Structure 1
Amino acid sequence: HRKSSHFLCCPWILLLGPLEVRIQTEAKYAGIWHCIRDTYRQERVWGFYRGLSLPVCTVSLVSSVSFGTYHHCLAHICRFRYGSTDAKPTKADITLSGCASGLVRVFLTSPTEVAKVRLQTQAQAQTQQRRPSASWTSGTPALCPTPTARLEPRPKYSGPLHCLVTVAREEGLRGLYKGSSALLLREGHSFATYFLSYAMLCEWLTPAGHSQPDVLGVLVAGGCAGVLAWAVATPMDVIKSRLQADGQGQHRYRGLLHCVVTSVREEGPRVLFKGLALNCCRAFPVNMVVFVAYEAVLRLTQSLLT
C-alpha cells in the first residue's frame, strides 16, 4: 500500500513524506516549492528525511500484514459464501476484504505515524513556543545580553524511539494512538477503494481469452489504484496529521470533528486536500511496483503449492 510502501522506491519519493506532513500541518506554506525552499533553508538535506527511520524499519511488516489480511479475508469470504476459495469474488467481497486490511493496519502504524509527525513538526512547535517569550521581552531591552541567550533550545525528541518513549511517558498509551480515529477512517475506505479499483482495472485490462492482465496491465492498474486510494484518503490524512502534531505545545483540537470544523473554518474546504498532489505523485510509481511484486509472489506461491 501507498504510504508504507513508498520507502521501497528512490530517494526523491522518500523526501515527499516530510513535505506532505509539513504542508498539511502548517498553514504558512503556499505550495510545494515554498515548503521545499523553507525546509532546506532551515534544516538542510536532513530535514527532508526526518522521522523516516522507524517507518522504513517497519515497512515490510506492515505491508505483509495488510496484503496478507486482504488475501486471507477474501479467501475466507469466498469459502463461506461460495464453498471454494477459487470462486470469483464479487465487488462487495473485495471491498469488505480491503476495508478489513486497512483497519488491521491502524494498530501497527499509529505509533510510527505519531513518531514521524512529531519529529517532522517539532521545529515548528519550538518556533511557536519561542514567539511569546520573544514578543514579551521585545519591549524591555536586555541590559547585559549573554551568549547563552542566543543558543537554540535542544529538540524535544532526539529520535523515533526516544519520541515513542517520551510520548508514552507523558501522554500514556492514548498518546501513541492519537489521531487513530482519523486513521481508521482513512485506512478503511481508502484500502477498500485501493483493492476494488485494482481488481476492476485488472478486469478491464485483461486481454480477451486470458484470465489476467500482462505486466503492463498490472503496472497501470496498480498505479491508478494508488492514485484513486489517495484521492479518498487525503482529507482524513490531513486531519490525522494535525491531531498527531497537536501533542506538541498547546492543544488546539478537542477531537476529530473539532479538528475538521476548525481547519475548514480557518483555511477553507481546500485544507482537506492539502498534500494531494504529493500523494498522487508518489502513489502512481510506488504502487506500480508494489502490485507487480504482489502478483509475482502470488504466482510463485501457487506454483510451489501445486
Structure 2
Amino acid sequence: MQTSKSFRVDDFIAGWIAGASSVVVGHPLDTVKTRLQAGKGYKNTLHCILTIYRKETVAGFFKGMSFPLASITVYNSAVFGFFSNTQRLISNYRYGDGRHPCSMLDLTVASMLTGLMSVSLGAPVDLVKIRLQMQTQMFLAENLHLAGNVSNGTNIRLRSVSIPSQQQLYRGPIHCISSILQTEGLQGLYRGAGAMILRDVPGYTLYFIPYAIFCDLLSPDNTSSPHPCSIWLAGGLAGSISWVTATPADVVKSRMQADAQLQRKYKGILHCIIHSYKTEGVQVFFRGASVNAIRGFPMSSTMFLTYELSLRFFRGL
C-alpha cells in the first residue's frame, strides 16, 4: 500500500468508500451483537435474531444505521488514511524511503497508534449507535422496573408508571447526541472510551497484521498488487480474528455505552467487569463472539476489497 514518500490523500478517500460498504454489510449483525452483549432475555444468537424480527420486523436490524453510515465513513477514512500514512512515515524515518516495506514491528507500532487514534473519533459514534440500537429494550426495562418488576402474566400495563417518552427514546442521532450532552455533558459522549482503548489498540494490531500475513501467503509470487480474491479472503479472515479476540473488551464497552443515565448501573470499567462476572459468570465476556466471527468476515472482506480496489482506481487516474 506504500507507493509514495509523501502524505497521500487517496488513502482517506478509499477508506471513506470502504467504510460505507462495510456499514451496509455489517450493521444487521452488529445490532444482534449489541443486543446479545448489552441486552436481556436472549437465549442465543438465533433467538435474538428471531425476537428482533418478530417484534421489530426487518427494520429492527437496521436501527441506528443512518448515523454510522454518515459517520463511520469518516471514521474509516481516518483509520485507513492514518494507518497507511503512518507506515510511510515510519519507513521514511527508519529506512529513508517511504516506499520501503514495513517490518512486523513497524506494522505493530502503526496498528497500535491507529487503534489509539480511532477511539477519539469512534467512541461517540459507537455510543450513539448503541444507544439507538438498544433504546427499545432500555425503554421496556426501565418501565418494568418502575412498574414494580411485574410479570408478563399480569394485566398491569408497562406504562402504568408514566415517564415522558423523550427521556427514554431517541428520535434520531441528533436528538440522541443532544440528550446525552444535556444529561451527561461532553464526557458522556466518551463513556466507555477506556474499554474501547482496551479493545481497539490490540484489536487493530490483530486486524492489520493478519491481513498483511494472509495477503503474503495468498500471493506466492510476491506481486505488488494481490489478486482481489486474495484481498477478499485475507480481509475476511483478519476481521474474524480481530473481532473474536476483541470480544471480551467489546462486551464491557457495549455495556458501558448502553448504560442509560436514568438507570446507571456501572461506575467504571473495573466495576462493570466485576459486576458482569459476579452476576453472569466468565462466559458473559464471550457473549456475541460467534456473531462477531460471522459478522467480521463479510464486513472486513468487503472493507479491504473496496479499499484496495479504490486505491488502484485513484492511483491509475
TM range (shorter): 0.7 to 0.9
1:136 deviation in Å? 8.3
Contact between 2:75 and 2:122, CA under 8 Å: does it hold in 1? yes
1:271 aligned residue: 284
1:36 aligned residue: 49
1:255 aligned residue: 268
Query: Aligned runs of 1:1-306 on 2, under 5 Å?
Result: 8=21, 13-135=26-148, 154=165, 155-208=168-221, 210-304=223-317
Q: Distance in 2 between matches of 1:219 and 1:42?
A: 35
Specify whether residues 122 and 202 from structure 1 end up closer, same or farther in structure 2 by C-alpha distance, changes over 3 A only: same
When structure 1 is superposed on structure 2, of 9-18 and 34-43 the one drifting more is 9-18
Q: Distance in 1 between matches of 2:95 and 2:242?
A: 28
TM-score calculated relative to the size of structure 2 = 0.84
Specify whether residues 93 and 152 from structure 1 end up closer, same or farther in structure 2 by C-alpha distance, changes over 3 A only: same
1:217 deviation in Å? 1.5
Q: Distance in 2 between matches of 1:60 and 1:125?
A: 28
Q: Distance in 1 between matches of 2:44 and 2:82?
A: 37
Contact between 1:205 and 1:217, CA under 8 Å: does it hold in 2? yes
Specify whether residues 150 and 211 from structure 1 end up closer, same or farther in structure 2 by C-alpha distance, changes over 3 A only: closer
Q: Distance in 1 between matches of 2:241 and 2:19?
A: 16
When structure 1 is superposed on structure 2, of 261-270 and 118-127 the one drifting more is 118-127
When structure 1 is superposed on structure 2, of 211-220 and 221-230 the one drifting more is 211-220
Specify whether residues 235 and 179 from structure 1 end up closer, same or farther in structure 2 by C-alpha distance, changes over 3 A only: same
- The code of the aligned residue for 2:170 comes to Y
Q: Distance in 2 between matches of 1:199 and 1:11?
A: 25
Specify whether residues 5 and 247 from structure 1 end up closer, same or farther in structure 2 by C-alpha distance, changes over 3 A only: farther
- The code of the aligned residue for 2:275 comes to T
Q: Distance in 2 between matches of 1:263 and 1:35?
A: 20
Contact between 2:52 and 2:60, CA under 8 Å: does it hold in 1? yes
Q: Distance in 1 between matches of 2:23 and 2:146?
A: 42
SS of 1:135's equivalent?
A: coil
Contact between 1:207 and 1:213, CA under 8 Å: does it hold in 2? no
1:202 deviation in Å? 1.2
Q: Distance in 1 between matches of 2:88 and 2:303?
A: 21
When structure 1 is superposed on structure 2, of 277-286 and 162-171 the one drifting more is 277-286
Contact between 1:246 and 1:253, CA under 8 Å: does it hold in 2? yes
SS of 2:197's equivalent?
A: helix
Larger radius of gyration: 1
Contact between 2:23 and 2:69, CA under 8 Å: does it hold in 1? no
Q: Distance in 2 between matches of 1:172 and 1:84?
A: 45
Q: Distance in 1 between matches of 2:278 and 2:52?
A: 27
Q: Distance in 1 between matches of 2:222 and 2:35?
A: 49
Specify whether residues 65 and 38 from structure 1 end up closer, same or farther in structure 2 by C-alpha distance, changes over 3 A only: same
Unaligned runs of 5+ in 1: none
1:18 deviation in Å? 1.5
Specify whether residues 43 and 153 from structure 1 end up closer, same or farther in structure 2 by C-alpha distance, changes over 3 A only: farther
SS of 1:210's equivalent?
A: coil
Unaligned runs of 5+ in 2: 1-13
Contact between 1:70 and 1:97, CA under 8 Å: does it hold in 2? yes
When structure 1 is superposed on structure 2, of 163-172 and 248-257 the one drifting more is 248-257
Q: Distance in 2 between matches of 1:234 and 1:50?
A: 22
Specify whether residues 93 and 207 from structure 1 end up closer, same or farther in structure 2 by C-alpha distance, changes over 3 A only: same
Contact between 2:19 and 2:77, CA under 8 Å: does it hold in 1? no
Deviation by residue 1:187-235 (Cα, 9 ceiling, x = unmatched): 1111111111111111111123634432222121111111111122211
How many residues are aligned here? 298
Contact between 1:122 and 1:248, CA under 8 Å: does it hold in 2? no
Q: Distance in 2 between matches of 1:263 and 1:181?
A: 17
